[in-house]
């Protein structure tokens, strides 16, 4: 089976190297160096990484991330290219399921923040794999949105999400839907339709798993 997460990790590291440590990203307030440090925190410091999703540990996680970011930038990228096999997020059994979306989204965070950005060609197999991620996470990302949301990638089945009510649809390629549902709505190439007020609310809603 193709390991898209592994390939996307390598491509992300290449892009981080190419743009340099001080380049902007779509992650507000984070440079390329900050983003690299986040990725290393996530897979090499599991206790601190819990602060990414557990509020009381958020301060500790951010202090650890900032400490990691002070390291030599090429060393950060070397560690990113060679994840630890003992990590719960990067061992061979979990890597594809956990890291495909993470590496793809953060790769796009780097690419789309650069001047003159242009969309890259996505391998059809990777696009299909990202659709699988959208199927698993789309309802969760939209679980509190006050409408009947239809997630539509032409050529695939439609997914129903949201809490119900007037219908709003999000249409795009699987990789663009993944960007949108990760909370990067303004950077995603999707089409929205439905009542104007709900469409605008969806554009600015806090999404993400």
Full DSSP string of 51-98? GGT-GGGHHHHHHHHHHHHTS-HHHHHHHHHS--TTSTTTSTTTHHHH
User: Can you tell me the distance from the alpha carbon of 207 to that of 209, in angstroms, rounded to the nearest whole number?
Assistant: 7
Structure tokens at 36: 């690299």
Kindly state the percentage of the chain with pLDDT values over 70: 95
pTM for the whole thing?
0.92
Residue 117 lies in a domain: no
Residue 20 lies in a domain: yes
Q: What is the number of domains present in the chain?
A: 2
Distances (CA, A) of 59 to 26, 85, 132, 154: 21, 27, 33, 42
In this structure, the answer to whether residues 12 and 107 fall within a common structural domain is yes
Count other C-beta atoms under 10 Å from residue 113's C-beta. Answer: 19
What is the model's pLDDT at position 1?
Answer: 46
Angle at 32 between CA 11 and CA 96, to 5 degrees: 40
Residue 183 lies in a domain: yes
- Band (pLDDT 50/70/90 cuts) for residue 209 is low
Count other C-beta atoms under 10 Å from residue 191's C-beta. Answer: 10
Residue 61 lies in a domain: yes
Phi and psi at residue 171, to the nearest 5°: -125, 130
């Amino acid at each position: 089976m193709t390991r898209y997460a592994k390939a996307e990790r390598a491509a992300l590291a290449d892009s981080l190297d190419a743009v340099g440590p001080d380049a902007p990203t779509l992650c507000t307030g984070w440079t390329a160096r900050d983003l690299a440090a986040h990725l290393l925190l996530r897979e090499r410091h599991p206790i601190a990484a819990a602060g990414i999703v557990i509020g009381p540990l958020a301060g500790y996680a951010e202090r650890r991330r900032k400490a990691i970011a002070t390291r030599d930038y090429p060393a950060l990228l070397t560690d990113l290219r060679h994840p630890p096999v003992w990590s719960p997020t990067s061992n061979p059994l979990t890597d594809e399921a956990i890291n495909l979306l993470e590496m793809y989204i953060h790769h796009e965070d780097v690419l789309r923040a650069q001047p003159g950005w242009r969309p890259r060609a996505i391998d059809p197999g990777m696009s299909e794999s990202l659709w699988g991620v959208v199927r698993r996470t789309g309802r969760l990302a939209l679980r509190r949105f006050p409408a009947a949301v239809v997630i539509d990638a032409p050529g695939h089945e439609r997914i129903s999400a949201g809490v119900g009510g007037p219908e709003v649809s999000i249409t795009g390629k699987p990789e663009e839907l993944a960007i949108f549902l990760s909370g990067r709505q303004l950077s995603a190439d999707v089409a929205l339709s439905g009542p104007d007020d709900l469409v605008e609310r969806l554009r600015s809603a806090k999404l993400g798993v």
